[in-house]
Amino acid sequence: MSAAGIESVFRNEAGRVLATLIRLVGDFELAEEALQEAFTAAVEQWPASGVPDKPRAWLVNVGRHKAVDRLRRQILFRRKRRDLEIDAAIDRQSVACAEEADAFGDDILRLIFTCCHPALAIETQVALTLRSVCGLTTEAVARALLVGVETMAQRLVRAKKKIRAAKIPYETPAPAMLDERIEGVLAVIYLVFTEGYAVTAGAELMRWDLSSEAIRLARLLDGLLPGRPAIQGLLALLLLHDARRHGRTTEAGDIVLLEDQDRSLWDQAQIAEGTGLVGEALRAPGRPSPYAVQAAIAALHAEAPHHEATDWPQIVGLYEVLLRLQPSPVVELNHAAAVSMVDGPARALDLLDALAARGGLDGYHLLPAARADLFRRLGRRQEARAAYLAALALVKLEPERRLLARRLAELG
């Protein structure tokens, strides 16, 4: 097998293999080291021996043996004789895992539930699951959660230490305990989709494998726990955004802004399914789910026959609802963009200046990019130019960099 082929296996299987190893050995760092050793062994052996029939099982088995070897070496180094106890413990855990009923019907979904342990803060659950199970880079996780890369790296290290020190078990929760983990699971699925919809860095705007996987998991979750407005809202949101995927870039991979997209390329079946789910979610009694409100905004975009027909006043109203339900700097940024379409760019600029003054989006390139667009619409070319340069200094995704550079060049 070629190096590219092995890399493809790594990309598809790393999350599942790592999650299984974590459950088997009960230690994040040990499992990560074992995973790396297992893939090193694959790189060495597979080109000559060929890929095994079940590569995931092969990797888990090799990783497990590597973990056991590491534990044995550690124990010998400390002159302790606990190797037999550890072997026996791992074997017992392996048997328990093998016999465990798969109530979720899907390995990854079950493992996300497992990792979203309520003993950890919700932000830590999400970060740890995205990094360990979903295979996102630390940089991508940091971007998704709006913190610096170094901060995120330290948070992940602390989380692993806490798990080890507190001996938090990695086991599938009982059905009665699913509710206390659902918030983290929804956040993970949403952020996996977000990373697929607009990746953190690189040459391509989207990763369809991630966004498709997120939709698949949301569908499974909707089947596992039917009639939940938050789940319906999330699935609707993902479907409605994903429905526009074919209109978002040119053949060369350049970004096509929403107002310029060919709406005949949008997936009308997904839009119909998404809007149906939004209706169900919003009709449910009680406070609306933030995912349902976001999906309602996406539905208004998707249903408009052309950009000028978009119901911007209703979108502004929905963002104001969202700001009350789930305030965040990113929601404020999007709200300001919608306000610019109703009250004009000057009012929106006031909102963004206030947001920038609070420092909630420092280092986030879309804030100066949005300010640049407002300056441009106001005819304030020098300020627009400075803001585009500030955004260019921060952006890491090549299609976004090209878009900002084009806008800067248009200013002359």
pLDDT tens string, the chain, 412 residues long: the values are: 666 677 777 777 787 788 788 777 777 778 888 888 888 888 888 888 888 888 888 888 888 888 888 877 777 766 655 666 666 665 555 554 444 445 555 667 777 887 788 778 888 888 888 887 777 788 888 877 778 888 888 888 888 787 777 766 666 677 777 888 888 889 989 988 998 898 887 888 998 888 988 898 899 889 888 999 999 999 999 999 999 999 999 999 999 999 999 999 999 999 999 999 999 999 999 999 999 999 999 999 999 999 999 999 999 999 999 999 999 999 999 999 999 999 999 999 999 999 999 987 888 999 999 999 999 999 999 999 999 999 999 998 999 999 999 999 999 7
Spell 4-26 as b/e; 16+ CB within 10 A means b. eebeebbeebbbbbbbbbbbbbb
Amino acid 374: pLDDT: 97
- CB under 8 Å to 142, separation ≥6 — which residues? 148, 149, 151, 152, 153
Token pair for 212: 């498709």
Amino acid 101: pLDDT: 45
Neighbours of 96 (CB within 10 A): 12
pLDDT tens sequence across 208-225: 888 988 898 899 889 888
Amino acid 149: pLDDT: 87
Residue tagged 């550890």 (tokens): 86
* DSSP line for 16-74: HHHHHHHHHH--HHHHHHHHHHHHHHHHHHHHHH---SSHHHHHHHHHHHHHHHHHHHH
282: left (phi over 0), alpha (psi -120 to 50) or beta: alpha
Amino acid 84: pLDDT: 63
Report CA 348 to chain centroid distance, whole Å: 28
Q: How far apart are CA 41 and CA 321, in angstroms?
A: 53
Q: How far apart are CA 296 and CA 302, in angstroms?
A: 10
Going from the C-alpha of 172 to that of each of 19, 169, 273, the distances in angstroms are: 12, 9, 31
Cα–Cα nearest to 168, from 136, 107, 121: 121
255 has which bridge partners?
Answer: 249
Asked whether the beta carbons of 296 and 318 are under 8 A apart, the reply is: yes
Half-sphere exposure of 111 (CA within 13 A, CB side): 23
Cα–Cα nearest to 60, from 68, 72, 71, 49: 68
Asked whether the beta carbons of 249 and 399 are under 8 A apart, the reply is: yes
Q: How far apart are CA 138 and CA 131, in angstroms?
A: 6
Instruction: Provide the 3-class DSSP secondary structure of residue 249.
Output: strand
50: left (phi over 0), alpha (psi -120 to 50) or beta: left
- CB under 8 Å to 60, separation ≥6 — which residues? 17, 20, 21, 24, 38
Neighbours of 252 (CB within 10 A): 7
Amino acid 93: pLDDT: 53
Q: What single letter denotes the amino acid at residue 20?
A: T
**What count of residues does the chain have?**
412
